[in-house]
Structure 1
Amino acid sequence: MWQWFHRLGSPRWFYQTSGKWLPWLGGITFLLLIIGLVWGLGFAPRDAKQGNSFRIIYIHVPASFLALAGYYVMAIAGAVGLIWKMKLADMVMKSAAPLGAALTFVALVTGAIWGKPTWGTYWVWDARITSMLVLLFLYMGVMALQHSYTSVDAANRASAVLSLVGMVNIPIIYKSVDWWYTLHQPATIKFTEAPTMHPDMFHPLLVMIVGFYCFYALVLILNTRSEILHRERRSSWVKNVVLQNQR
């Protein structure tokens, strides 16, 4: 009954199978992001208080969502690598770190740009912003650990431990606007409540969030495939792949 689980953990199986998904996933990602951007930036109504400056939400919010969700992906992959010793899980963990760091950086930069017209300053040591900065450092810590050991196994173990320890920061980010007095506005989208945004603003945002999730999956797969080829470069099947690509 666990055959599917071990097959999923096979780098060769993942590489061969994921290649079939990429054209479809790439097309869907491109379509969703184009529709969401044009809809949100060109056709969504102006905000009554913030004017057109609110439109950065169509980049800021999806990037923030994926920065947090991506950390779960990295930490879960690290846990699977620690417990079941699956090579593919370690590769996913390593591949997720730079992608998560980039999305966290985008979230921080777009938040700063949004904060200037809204708060009158680019940066305050707000609870949400500070905890997001900690998230960026955690991603960078995992990336640094991957290059700090000569042993791949030791690097994977250290990275997985840091990923799991850093999970404590995720609920802090989620609840920071509720637990502390903060300049950052409360969550606009909640699973237990209807969104506070007008539907004409919310619908393009929803398209952008789905598009960003597809983008994350696409880039993570590409990063993981590259990592598989690097780590498995001495195996016969990778040599065959390289030969086929050179023809």
Structure 2
Amino acid sequence: MTQEEPRHVLVQARREPSPLYEPPAGGWWAEDTSSFSVNLALEDPALALPPDLSEALRSWSLFPFPEGGASRSDLREHVERGVAVAQRLARHLGPSWAVRYWDEHQHTMKWLCWGCDRLHWERDLHGSPPHPLDLTVEGEFKYGPLRAEGFGDFFPDDPAAGLDLPNELVTALYTWARDIDDTLNRDLRDREEGKYDAEWRRLFHTGADLARRVAHELGPARKVTYKGLANGGLDALTSVTWQGDREL
């Protein structure tokens, strides 16, 4: 699936186990929900949904409203839950899917941006892609631990990258980058052959683990490549790529 030809999906609660719908084969989306007539199972391998997201979508779709219909406050709360879970879905699927959400309260259908967590009347309102797709994790003195074409080096909580990584992982990446700076400074200061070899090896393996964790958090929407340590000698160079939890 290319960026120019995304797979279209609508998120709408129709009291079915999956609230995901797409146009029939050969069909196309229109400005109403009738175009999206094929229910897409949450277990579909193309989605590769993590269990918690799958369950959140299922429970939202099957939410039992009180007999006699939902009150305005109940409906508003249900819509807000739907927006939140649809945003998670859009982030998970990335730019190869075009995700839309049906607001039952307002009776409107909007695009969900995979990168900025906002709803838009138009797809790719701020350009495509809004955030880097292919990331590199590499340790280098005085550089951020992440790189991407068109973005240069950057840190994991840079809002322009739209990574939304857990705080613990963000802290670990900052610590790794700082430890690389400290180790190189000490290595240059002491100039003792092999004194910091064990530390460079530790940093190399730590970087690989961090890259794997970044790939896991970002899911199949993005590729993450680990390039090792730029300052650790030839033995510290590598190139391993993950897409979600799958090593390529």
Higher alpha-carbon Rg: 2
Give TM-score, length-normalised by structure 2: 0.32
Q: Which has the higher strand share?
A: 2
Give TM-score, length-normalised by structure 1: 0.32
